[in-house]
Structure 1
């Protein structure tokens, strides 16, 4: 088994799509439902398949991001350049943090239009892609 993608319910699909494309996602496909539901499937250009779905269900009531979801983590190669690009695109990354100490990952955060938190992660030089059991030894 493997995780395919996360799906977020969003209030305004166009506004959220603008945010996530500014973050670097590309549209992989769209699905229109008969009840007004619209889905947009996204991926980063270097990813082989979908990694995020935006779900707009106008009849489902307000979006509540405080009901258990914490954050989405996104790995970046060059954090300084990514933060500059995001700022130029009108997004507001938060302050740089070092949750693993000065030699660990660098992680600023940002928040999407519905309040979903996103954590950008730059691993230290030589760290493999992703988080593994070795990160907890």
Structure 2
């Protein structure tokens, strides 16, 4: 088994697509769900497959982010450059943090239009790629 992607229900599909496109996601496809609902499948250009799905259900009302969801983590190559690009695109990333101390990963937090939190992570140069059994 393997995880395919995470799916978010969104209140305003156009607003959410603008946010995730500014973040760097590219659209792979759309599915009409009927009754005005649709989903859009996204991925980063360097990813081999879909990693995010946005689902809009017409008349579904505003999204209330539940207490069980915490955040989506996104790996970036250069956090400072990413934050500069996102700020230039009108997004509001938080300050750089060092949760593992000065030699650990660098992170910054961002919130999407529906309140979903995203953690941008730059791993230290000598660390294994992403989280592994060696983290």
Aligned mates of 2:76, 2:47 — CA distance in 1: 12
Structure 1 residue runs of 4 or more that deviate by more than 3 Å after TM superposition? none
The equivalent of 2:68 in structure 1 is: 68
Match of 1:127 in 2: 127
User: Deviation of residue 23 (structure 1)?
Assistant: 0.1
- Segments of 5+ residues of structure 2 without an aligned counterpart are none
Query: SS where residue 33 of structure 1 aligns?
Result: strand
Query: Which structure dedicates a bigger proportion of its chain to helix?
Result: 1
Q: Tell me how far apart the structure 2 counterparts of residues 65 and 125 of structure 1 sit (CA, whole Å).
A: 34
Q: In structure 2, how many angstroms separate the alpha carbons of the residues matched to 1:67 and 1:77? A: 30
Q: CA deviation at 1:36?
A: 1.5
TM-score by length of 2: 0.96
What is the alpha-carbon root mean square deviation over aligned residues?
0.9
Kindly state the Cα deviation for residue 66 of structure 1 after the two structures are TM-superposed: 3.0
**In 2, distance between residues paired with 1:110 and 1:38?**
25
Of residues 59-68 and 7-16 in structure 1, the stretch that sits farther from structure 2 once superposed is: 59-68
How far did 1:103 drift? Answer: 0.4
The offset of 1:132, in angstroms, is: 1.2
In structure 2, the residue matched to 1:2 is 2
Count matched residues: 135
Q: Following TM superposition, by how much is the alpha carbon of 1:67 offset from its aligned partner in structure 2, in angstroms?
A: 3.1
Partners of 1:29 and 1:6 lie apart in 2 by 15
Which residue of structure 2 aligns with residue 78 of structure 1?
78
What whole-Å deviation, never above 9, does each CA across 1:40-64 have from its counterpart, x for those lacking one?
0000000010000000012333311
Of residues 28-37 and 55-64 in structure 1, the stretch that sits farther from structure 2 once superposed is: 55-64
- How far did residue 90 of structure 1 move? 0.3
Contact 2:128–2:134, Cα closer than 8 Å, also in 1: no
Q: Does structure 1 retain, via aligned residues, the 8 Å contact 2:6–2:52?
A: yes
